[in-house]
Amino acid sequence: MRSDANLAGPVADPVPGPRSESPGEDVSRETPPPVDDTPFEHAARLAVQAVGRAGEVLPRPAQTRVMVVANQKGGVGKTTTTVNLAASLALHGARVLVIDLDPQGNASTALGIDHHADVPSIYDVLVEGRPLLEVVQPVPDVEGLFCAPATIDLAGAEIELVSLVARESRLQRAIQAYQQPLDYILIDCPPSLGLLTVNALVAGAEVLIPIQCEYYALEGLGQLLRNVDLVRAHLNPGLHVSTILLTMYDGRTRLASQVAEEVRSHFGNEVLRTSIPRSVRISEAPSYGQTVLTYDPGSSGALSYLEAAREIALRGAGMAYDGHASMSGAQHSTASMAEGIQ
Ligand SMILES: Nc1ncnc2c1ncn2[C@@H]1O[C@H](COP(=O)(O)OP(=O)(O)OP(=O)(O)O)[C@@H](O)[C@H]1O
Ligand SMILES: [Mg+2]
């Protein structure tokens, strides 16, 4: 894993070749041209968008940041957040690995990664002790993005792991042995607190919790936080909740702003100022085996994930985030974390 402190050079260009406009050039008074369907043109638009949006060199972490995307509540946006944040970070020039730790394999699907039963997968790593290097695949269309896919075999792993040596730390060992230069590893967890999620919590340093702006948003979070505490106390002293991301935010409803306010009053600085809007484009992208960043780079969903990635990168480097894109409209609060959560 990388250990050299450095700043990224110019943001990597995922699509070499001519561009239709120079980064940062203001051409936005006209109606934008229709979205082209070819992957190349999508990617070209995306590159322009990403560079123009960022307009700055984002800091890369001195060491690989291993972020566990967890919430045992189902359907809150874990997978969506994992793949779109990972793509956004890669488009900002980082090298990023997504580890799909959910037997459903949704992250693998969304990244366009083959994950039928015969494909070498994270199951082989966890249960058979196969090196991570042998299962990682490059993600098509996004330079610097890689994925360790999940196959259906993983559904049995929770039980198979029970009888294995060092059952909680098998993923940690695999990551430590993976000597590739990476800036970020994002682990997509299943909606449970079983051995797969425990493996992720032991392997990572940071927990990223996506919270859906809906009724009962905080339900069950106390249990997740207690698990984080237990893993920190016994297995991984460096583990902490570093990031909370509000997802599926609908600024038109009072409910969404109330939930956002409640989350910000329970969790303080950990809550990103950027939140992710409810967006049809975000929900459509996986069925095309794409992230929203390549599916519709100019959409609000793509821009919000790019902005969240920017905020995460700046915060990780201890730099101030200027709140450039207030997609959420929600207020920032510095109340202390996790008080009173059930
Ligand atoms: N911002 C969004 N706007 C619209 N739809 C979204 C958004 N985020 C996620 N979705 C949709 O909500 C559903 C659940 O999202 P996702 O699969 O990311 O959740 P999850 O927490 O990974 O679920 P699971 O617990 O089953 O793994 C998906 O259909 C996804 O496309
Ligand atoms: Mg999921």
* Span 291-308, average pLDDT: 95
- State whether the beta carbon of 248 lies less than 6 angstroms from ligand 1: yes
Token digits of residue 288 = 């095309």
Q: How many CA atoms lie within 13 A of 71 on its CB side?
A: 25
Which of 243, 221, 239, 192 has the alpha carbon at shortest distance from 89? 243
Whether residue 43 lies inside any domain: the answer is: no
Measured from the alpha carbon of residue 283, the closest ligand is 1
Return the higher-pLDDT residue of 147 and 46.
147
Whether residue 206 lies inside any domain: the answer is: yes
Question: Ligand 2: distance of its center to the CA of 310 in Å?
Answer: 23
Q: Which atom of ligand 1 is nearest to the CA of 191?
A: 25
Q: Which atom of ligand 1 is nearest to the CA of 286?
A: 31
Q: Which residue owns the Cα nearest ligand 1 atom 30?
A: 283
Whether residue 229 lies inside any domain: the answer is: yes
State the angle between helix axes of 300-316 and 78-91 in degrees (0 to 180), rounded to the nearest 10: 70
Question: Ligand 2: distance of its center to the CA of 105 in Å?
Answer: 8
Return the higher-pLDDT residue of 324 and 186.
186
Q: Is pLDDT at 199 greater than 60 in this prediction?
A: yes
Q: Is pLDDT at 16 greater than 80 in this prediction?
A: no
Whether residue 269 lies inside any domain: the answer is: no
- State whether the beta carbon of 106 lies less than 6 angstroms from ligand 1: yes
- Express each pLDDT in 211-250 by its tens digit: 998 888 888 889 999 999 999 999 999 999 999 999 999 9
* Sheet hosting strand 137-138, strand order edge to edge: 137-138, 145-148, 96-100, 184-188, 65-69, 206-212, 240-247
- Residue to mutate, 80, 154, 193, ligand 1, most ligand atoms under 8 Å from C-beta: 80
Which residue segment(s) compose the domain that 174 sits in?
A: 65-246+308-316
Q: Which atom of ligand 1 is nearest to the CA of 81?
A: 18
pLDDT value at residue 11 = 32
Q: What residues contact 237, with CB distance under 8 A and at least 6 apart? A: none
Q: Which atom of ligand 1 is nearest to the CA of 71?
A: 21
Distance between CA 109 and CA 188 in Å, rounded? 12
What single-letter DSSP state applies at residue 324?
-
Question: Ligand 2: distance of its center to the CA of 56 in Å?
Answer: 32
pLDDT value at residue 42 = 54
Whether residue 322 lies inside any domain: the answer is: no
Q: Total domain count for the chain? A: 1
What single-letter DSSP state applies at residue 287?
G
How far is residue 169 from each of residues 134, 157, 166, 172, 323, measured CA to CA in Å?
19, 14, 6, 5, 37
- State whether the beta carbon of 264 lies less than 6 angstroms from ligand 1: no
Whether residue 77 lies inside any domain: the answer is: yes
Distance between CA 192 and CA 339 in Å, rounded? 23
Return the higher-pLDDT residue of 209 and 9.
209
pLDDT value at residue 28 = 36
Return the higher-pLDDT residue of 41 and 164.
164
Helix, coil or strand: residue 33: coil
> What average pLDDT is seen over the chain?
82
- Express each pLDDT in 47-83 by its tens digit: 545 545 544 668 999 999 999 999 999 999 999 999 9
Whether residue 200 lies inside any domain: the answer is: yes
pLDDT value at residue 219 = 84
Label residues 266-302 b or e (16+ Cβ within 10 Å = b): bbbbbbbbbbbbbbeebeebbeebbbbbbbbbebbbb
Whether residue 97 lies inside any domain: the answer is: yes
Residue 228 maps to which CATH number? 3.40.50.300
